[in-house]
Amino acid sequence: MTQNNLPVIGITGGVGSGKSVVMDILSEEYGGAVILADQVGHDLMQPGAVSYRQIISHFGREILGEDGQINRQALAAIVFSDEAKLKELNGITHPNIRREIIERIKGFRTGGEHPFIALEAALLIEGGYEEITDELWYIYVTEGNRIKRLMAARGYSEEKCRAIISSQLSDTVFRQHCRTIIDNNGSVEETRRSVAAALLKSGIIKEYTEDEMA
């Protein structure tokens, strides 16, 4: 059964905000179909895929490893020292990712196996994904908590954390674009209740269960 009106929820937020926690809840507890933009980008850079072919054509085979995979360190060394080349790379990958995401949304709608689709990406707003989502959720965590989590989980220095955070959209901009705010500063149980409330508000679920209200 085709569900052309199957809602698409865009999940966004800065680095260290815990978007993956929310995606796990949406998938495992509510049966939502999951699309991860980073994973889509990774898939399209596999040998033979469209981004792979275009990147090799543009930057040369010197960036390939012995296994035929794109050597991401070699590619990064080229683009992150040259803003123009980084723009060229993004000009290849971003349109391909967007097209593939649209195709995956169509596939899930055709399959008719899920009550909604959850699309996660840090750059949903910058990439204009508001056009293909029904609503955006902002996963909010204070800057201090984001830094603590990044330092613990990824071993980043505080300086590196602050540099990454400062390069991303501000809290104010996220709030301007997103219909729903999920506060992810507390426990997973608290986040779970916030997700349930947001789904109820969206009409995706009709009522809370006792577990969700606990």
In tens, the pLDDT along 50-69 reads 999 999 999 999 999 999 99
Burial 123-134 (b: 16+ CB within 10 A, else e): bbbebebeeebb
In this structure, the answer to whether residues 182 and 138 fall within a common structural domain is: yes
In this structure, the answer to whether residues 121 and 104 fall within a common structural domain is: no
List the beta bridge partners of residue 139: 182
Residue 140 near residue 185, CB atoms below 8 Å: yes
Amino acid 121: pLDDT: 87
Question: How many distinct structural domains can be found in the chain?
Answer: 2
Domain that holds residue 122: 1-32+116-214
In tens, the pLDDT along 115-169 reads 999 999 888 999 889 999 999 999 999 999 999 999 999 999 999 999 999 999 9
| Pairing status of strand 135-140 against strand 117-120 | unpaired
In this structure, the answer to whether residues 213 and 121 fall within a common structural domain is: yes
Which of the listed residues 71, 94, 113 is the one where a domain comes to its end?
A: 113
Number of CB atoms found within 10 A of residue 36's CB: 18
Q: Is the pLDDT of residue 7 over 50?
A: yes
Has this prediction a pTM greater than 0.75? Answer: yes
What is the Cα–Cα distance from 65 to 71, expressed in whole angstroms? 5
Residue 5 near residue 128, CB atoms below 8 Å: no
Amino acid 123: pLDDT: 86
pLDDT band at 211 (very low <50, low <70, confident <90, very high): low
Is the dihedral angle over the CA atoms 208, 118, 39, 111 positive or is it negative?
positive
Amino acid 17: pLDDT: 95
